[in-house]
Amino acid sequence: MSMAEMFTVVIAANMVTIVFIYAVWRIKKNENDWHAIGLALFCCLIAGVASYATLLPT
């Protein structure tokens, strides 16, 4: 993996983490915020797909 690819992966992972933290913050403010709950679940899905993709042979 080149340095550019690693840099892109790090930026994408940080973006997903920031969005997840924002969603959790919104859920803590309002427990019935279904948009924030969906956003948090979507971030979990993206993280799961990314971790599965690392196991695939190249």
Model confidence pLDDT, tens digit, residues 9-57:
888 889 999 999 999 999 999 888 899 999 999 999 998 888 887 777 7
Cα gap 16→23, rounded to integer Å: 10
What pLDDT score was predicted for residue 47? 87
What pLDDT score was predicted for residue 38? 93
What pLDDT score was predicted for residue 50? 82
DSSP letter at 33 equals: -
* Of 37, 35, 44, 49, the residue nearest 16 (C-alpha): 44
Long-range contact list for 30-39, CB < 8 A, 24+ apart?
none
What pLDDT score was predicted for residue 58? 64
What pLDDT score was predicted for residue 10? 85
Q: Is the pTM of this model over 0.75?
A: yes
